[in-house]
Amino acid sequence: MSDARVHHPGLFRATAGAIAAVAVALPLLGGVMGGISPYFANIIGQIATFALLAVALDLIWGYAGILSLGHGLFFATGGYLIAMHLLKAGFEFGGITPDFMVFMGWSEFPGFWAGLEHFPYALALIVLLPGALALVYGFVSFRSRVSGVYFAIITQALTYIAMLLMFRNDTGFGGNNGMTGFSEVLGQPIGAPSVVIGLATVSVLLLLAGFLFAGWLTSTSFGRLLIAIRDDEARLRFLGYETLWPKLAIWSLSAVLAALAGALYVPQVGIINPRLLSPDLSIEIAVWVALGGRGALSGAVIGAAIISALKFWLSGFAPDLWPFILAGVVLVVVVVLPNGLLDLRGLLHRRPAFGNILSEKRNG
């Protein structure tokens, strides 16, 4: 198999197996047998949503070569929608008035909250809204041939605009305090250990599904088309492919995956506020993928897991150090490991293939 494609079937299977093992272990050790505390399960669940977010970014960045520094926008859209569902359901079925309405002195929800207490409707919105947002933005950008760093900067700007909008208190999205105080999810008390472990398990299962799906998709002829777009989009256009459509398809799909991740993240942290839309998170997603290795879905999962685990661990005693560590990771990747941790394999086992390429006669 080609090295240049960063295709690692063995690593992919190992990663899928590890995710599946966690999905099985969580309900077993967290519930029946004991051994995993709800606190720990919750962290694993959060990391799983980050890993899914990283897989979403890798699909467009690693495979189609489109860097987004605004995937926090889609993640947060999913998060806000699920938060609205949880608050509305808590109000309709549990009689609990959300804090932000008390704070604003409102007795009624804004009109656009209508129907959100119903989970199927909320779920449909979680898929359709970010998908439509991505379609519109992608269509306008790709058709005008906005690409590369310009595309990345605009995604970042859009996310920032969304953050400023969400900081306003009169928009009906909870303002700068965000939304919190979720009481129940699908009729179950949200803080109960079984619910905590259940949410974590669902997150890991969704990660597994997303990972396998992305692995399948990139192995199809569509996946080859994406790699061709990444390697030389102009060449592909001059071969007769209107690249707008495949780019739009993978971009929107990536946005939906990110939104689903966000919709599972927010019930587990119990809060969403506009800081999820700050540039920090969106850049951090790119760092996860860069550390793990672009264009290898396993790399995205591993990178997200390592960095988020490190962040959780560090936040206990030295949260101020985090920006420096993140910057250090970026430097190491840029200077030493251009393909992220995947390069470590090359350093460990000197690849004979590399020598062959160099010594090959320049004559066919």
Neighbours of 21 (CB within 10 A): 11
Residues 6+ apart with CB under 8 A from 73: 133, 155, 158, 159, 162, 277, 282
Instruction: Write the burial class of residue 101 (CB in 10 Å: 0-12 exposed, 13-18 middle, 19+ buried).
Output: middle
180: phi then psi, degrees, rounded to nearest 5? -150, -170
Q: Interface with other proteins by CB under 8 A: which range of 49-57, 99-107, 259-267, 354-362?
A: 354-362
Nearest to 80 by CA among 304, 287, 275: 275
Contact between 92 and other proteins by CB under 8 A: the answer reads no
Among 162, 230, 250, 342, binds other proteins (CB under 8 A): 230
Of 88 and 230, the one with the shorter C-beta distance to other proteins is: 230
Nearest to 73 by CA among 149, 139, 131: 131
Minimal distance in Å, beta carbon 362 to other proteins? 4
**Torsion 86-91-94-99 (CA) sign:** positive
Contact between 347 and other proteins by CB under 8 A: the answer reads no
Residues 295-324 that bind other proteins (CB under 8 A): 295
Among 45, 175, 178, 246, binds other proteins (CB under 8 A): 246
Among 235, 334, 336, 351, binds other proteins (CB under 8 A): 235
Minimal distance in Å, beta carbon 292 to other proteins? 18
Contact between 237 and other proteins by CB under 8 A: the answer reads yes
> Cα(116)–Cα(95) distance, rounded to whole angstroms?
15
Among 111, 242, 348, 359, binds other proteins (CB under 8 A): 242
Contact between 275 and other proteins by CB under 8 A: the answer reads no
Minimal distance in Å, beta carbon 345 to other proteins? 17
Q: Which two tokens stand for residue 253?
A: 């799909």
Q: Which two tokens stand for residue 62?
A: 């690693």
Of 9 and 110, the one with the shorter C-beta distance to other proteins is: 9
Q: Residue holding tokens 């519930």?
A: 31
Contact between 224 and other proteins by CB under 8 A: the answer reads yes
| 3-state helix, strand and coil shares in percent for the chain, rounded to the nearest 5 | 75, 0, 25
Minimal distance in Å, beta carbon 357 to other proteins? 5
Of 32 and 357, the one with the shorter C-beta distance to other proteins is: 357
Of 238 and 317, the one with the shorter C-beta distance to other proteins is: 238
Binding residues (CB under 8 A) for other proteins: these are 2-6, 220-222, 224-225, 227-228, 230-232, 234-242, 245-246, 295, 357, 360-364
